[in-house]
């Protein structure tokens, strides 16, 4: 990953305040420097071992190709060329992109609406609701997906009964045509509550005097919500969006779990992550799997970075 | 898992006050009662949506396999027979009670990984915030970039690396990578900068306290809210982790409960005769979900302020 490119040139030591040029301070500073590194060192060790090293290693592996016939050989960027022309990978990437287009707005709208409503109320019910909307976040993603798998299932789920009440046949939630929406629903259910808490906290941070001013100017409740509150919490919205973007692009657990109940609708290569996983662990193609992982990592990294750059005004980054 | 990885550098114009609590708003109570009824109705709809799967899980955990398929009360209501305790007993019997071992593993991984990650994050965040040292800015910018590296992209390389070190299929393969929490370090640094004034540290030094003593006795108590937040986030992150243990563990005795239950479900769906244990999967899921829900409900006052730290600071 292009981590190193991010780093500014080796730290120009901060110019010391000119009014304290005494030697004693100098010695103190050197001692402090050592303490700084001591505090950071344990984390730095883990950082290098489990982030920098795997990334460097993956990059190294992704530049090689090994076949039974010829052994391992250095093939430069052949794996990347292969990945970006591999219809399976591209299809997965496209699928993840369309998930991002549908899933992120879905999560954010639910979270925003819930937060705006909760911000307007201060009853026992609203307190209780806040907890209940958040609770799915406490459920492991695997368990959440398992539960929804049962709920979607025509054998176990309530859909037949519920649709039966109005005299309709229940749709098959696990078929090829519906699995997309089914997955969007699971993710929204799981994460909207967490995002709601972040947005809610930001709303609580606004000075209520501003609402008074808006009301005096003749704004009604909806106008205050959309024209005053939402713009004022745009930085939190940007953050939620980044969270959701990073999560969506590495989509893995939910489709992987649902695959067991919807094999026809979810192939092993449904998302790039699932593709890399099956390449590595079912076909032992670690070199190509590394290239896929790395390519995906670059896409996610570039995507979130680009987004942050485009929204730097809203996100408060100059 | 996504939540542990990301972390956008956050607003500078946000209010200083990190506590979301505030006295109730004046003035607008009771003024537009009609709208409030609408809001309440909307809330109830939202709550029903978010709570239904959990309600289903609770009810389903009291049914045997036949009840799951064709219970007298339908999928969303209790069956005639109450089988929760039978199911729990079943969890002790199936495959020699391995479920409890999985649950224990989950606790162990979450605590050791979570506590370890928190300790490293607190130390590093403090180091970044309160000391100027050579390479500090460079390292911190690399770290900020790392927050955006998707953790799942690391799983396969980490697997290969661990297998070269001979650590695959050991508890270390799960614990060591869980210690990595760039987002935690970022949160701790941002929080420390405001919560621990330099003047206070200088005062402690003038009084003759060493750096370690200053850290433990002066700074740590001030950092408590952020520590609880980072701990909570990393424990939940490790507890929920699926991809990493799925890749690095194959010994059934070492699996966390998430991977274990997923295996049962895959076997049951494959239609393997003796392995169709739907009632145990459901009950196992129910039992495994309880600890985190209880933790969240009882630690409310910590996380409600804490989870928003990232947003407000």
Residues B256-302 pLDDT 10s: 999 999 998 888 887 766 667 888 899 999 999 998 888 888 877 77
In this structure, what token pair is assigned to residue A295? 């390519």
Q: A76: pLDDT confidence band, cut at 50, 70 and 90?
A: confident
Q: Which residues of B touch A236 (CB under 8 A)?
A: 11, 311
**Residue B249's pLDDT is what?**
93
ipTM of the complex as predicted: 0.81
Residue B178 has pLDDT above 60, yes or no: yes
Using pLDDT thresholds of 50, 70 and 90, give the confidence band for residue B224: confident
Q: Looking at residues B66-94, what average pLDDT do you find? A: 78
Residues of chain A positioned with their CB less than 8 A from the CB of B295: 138
For chain A, say whether B31 makes contact (Cβ under 8 Å).
no
Using a CB-CB cut-off of 8 Å, the residues of chain B touching A278 are: none
Whether A1 contacts chain B with CB within 8 A: yes
Please give the pLDDT value at position A31. 76
The Cα–Cα gap between A226 and B96 comes to 58
Write down the mean pLDDT value for chain A: 83
B3 or A42: which carries more pLDDT confidence? A42
Tell me: pLDDT of B27 over 50: no
User: DSSP letter string over A40-61?
Assistant: HHHHHHHHIIIIIHHHHHHHHH
Most confidently modeled of A202-211, A226-235, B82-91, B251-260? B251-260
Report helix, strand or coil for A22. Answer: coil
- B290 in contact with chain A, both atoms CB, cutoff 8 A: no
Residue B54 has pLDDT above 60, yes or no: yes
Question: Residue B292 and residue A293: Cβ atoms within 8 Å?
Answer: no
Is 70 exceeded by the pLDDT of residue B6? Answer: no
Bridge partners, residue A66, by sequence: A72
Name the pLDDT band for B73 (thresholds 50, 70, 90).
Answer: low
Q: Are B255 and B105 in contact, with CB atoms under 8 Å apart?
A: yes
- Per the model's pLDDT, the better-predicted residue between A98 and B73 turns out to be A98
Q: What is the mean pLDDT of residues B212-220?
A: 89
Contacts 24+ apart (CB under 8 A), B40-43: B40/A121, B40/A123, B40/A125, B42/A113, B42/A117, B43/A114, B43/A117, B43/A118, B43/A121, B43/A125, B43/A126, B43/A129
Q: Does the pTM exceed 0.90?
A: no
Q: What is the mean pLDDT of residues B210-216?
A: 88
Q: Is A211 on the interface with B (CB under 8 A)?
A: yes
Contacts of A129 in chain B (CB under 8 A): 43-44, 46-47
């Amino acid at each position: 990953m292009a981590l190193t490119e991010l780093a500014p040139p080796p730290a120009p030591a901060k110019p010391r305040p000119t009014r304290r040029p005494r030697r004693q301070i100098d010695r103190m500073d050197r001692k402090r420097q050592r303490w700084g590194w001591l505090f950071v060192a344990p984390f730095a060790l883990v950082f290098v071992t489990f982030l920098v090293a795997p990334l460097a290693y993956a990059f190294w592996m992704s530049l090689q190709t090994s076949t039974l016939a010829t052994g391992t050989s250095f093939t430069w960027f052949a794996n990347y060329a292969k990945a970006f022309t591999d219809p399976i990978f591209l299809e997965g990437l496209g699928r993840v992109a369309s998930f991002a287009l549908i899933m992120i707005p879905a999560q954010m709208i639910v979270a925003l609406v819930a937060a705006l409503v909760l911000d307007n109320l201060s009853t026992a019910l609203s307190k209780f609701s806040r907890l209940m909307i958040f609770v799915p976040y406490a459920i492991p993603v695997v368990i959440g997906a398992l539960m929804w798998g049962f709920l979607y299932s025509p054998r176990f789920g309530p859909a037949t009964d519920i649709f039966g009440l109005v005299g309709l046949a229940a749709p098959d939630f696990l078929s090829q045509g519906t699995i997309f929406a089914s997955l969007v629903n699971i993710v929204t259910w799981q994460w909207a509550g967490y995002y709601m808490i972040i947005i809610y906290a930001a709303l609580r941070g606004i000075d209520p005097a501003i609402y008074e001013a808006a009301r005096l100017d003749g704004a009604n409740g909806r106008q205050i919500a959309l024209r005053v509150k939402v713009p004022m919490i745009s930085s939190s919205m940007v953050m939620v969006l980044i969270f959701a973007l990073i999560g969506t692009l590495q989509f893995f657990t939910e489709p992987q779990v649902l695959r067991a109940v919807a094999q026809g609708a979810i192939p092993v290569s449904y998302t790039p992550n699932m593709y890399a996983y099956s390449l590595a662990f079912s076909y032992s193609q670690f070199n190509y799997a590394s290239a896929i992982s790395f390519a995906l990592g670059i896409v996610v990294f570039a995507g979130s970075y680009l987004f942050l750059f485009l929204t730097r005004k809203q996100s408060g980054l100059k | 898992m996504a939540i542990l990885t990301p972390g956008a550098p956050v607003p500078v114009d946000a209010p200083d006050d990190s506590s979301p609590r505030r006295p109730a708003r004046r003035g607008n109570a009771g003024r537009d009662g009609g709208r409030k009824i609408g809001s309440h109705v909307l809330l109830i709809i939202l709550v029903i949506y978010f709570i239904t799967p959990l309600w289903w899980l609770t009810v389903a955990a009291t049914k045997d396999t036949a009840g799951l398929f064709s219970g007298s009360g339908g999928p969303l209501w209790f069956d005639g027979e109450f089988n929760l305790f039978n199911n729990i007993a079943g969890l002790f019997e199936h495959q020699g009670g391995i479920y409890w071992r999985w649950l224990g593993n989950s606790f162990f991984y979450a605590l050791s990984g979570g506590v370890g990650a928190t300790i490293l994050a607190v130390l590093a965040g403090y180091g970044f915030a309160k000391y100027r040292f050579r390479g500090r800015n460079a390292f911190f910018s690399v770290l900020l970039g790392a927050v955006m590296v998707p953790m799942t992209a690391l799983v396969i390389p980490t697997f290969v690396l661990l297998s070269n070190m001979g650590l695959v299929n050991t508890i270390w393969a799960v614990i060591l990578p869980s210690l990595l929490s760039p987002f935690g370090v970022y949160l701790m640094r941002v929080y420390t900068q405001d919560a621990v004034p330099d003047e206070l540290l200088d005062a402690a030094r003038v009084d003759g306290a060493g750096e370690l003593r200053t850290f433990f006795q002066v700074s740590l108590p001030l950092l408590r809210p952020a520590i609880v937040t980072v701990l909570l986030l990393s424990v939940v992150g490790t507890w929920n982790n699926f991809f990493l243990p799925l890749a690095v563990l194959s010994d059934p005795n070492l699996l966390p409960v998430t991977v274990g239950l997923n295996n049962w479900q895959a076997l049951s769906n494959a239609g393997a005769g003796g392995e169709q244990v739907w009632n145990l999967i459901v009950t196992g899921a129910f039992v495994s979900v309880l600890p985190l829900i209880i933790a969240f409900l009882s630690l409310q006052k910590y996380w409600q302020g804490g989870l928003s730290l990232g947003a407000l600071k």
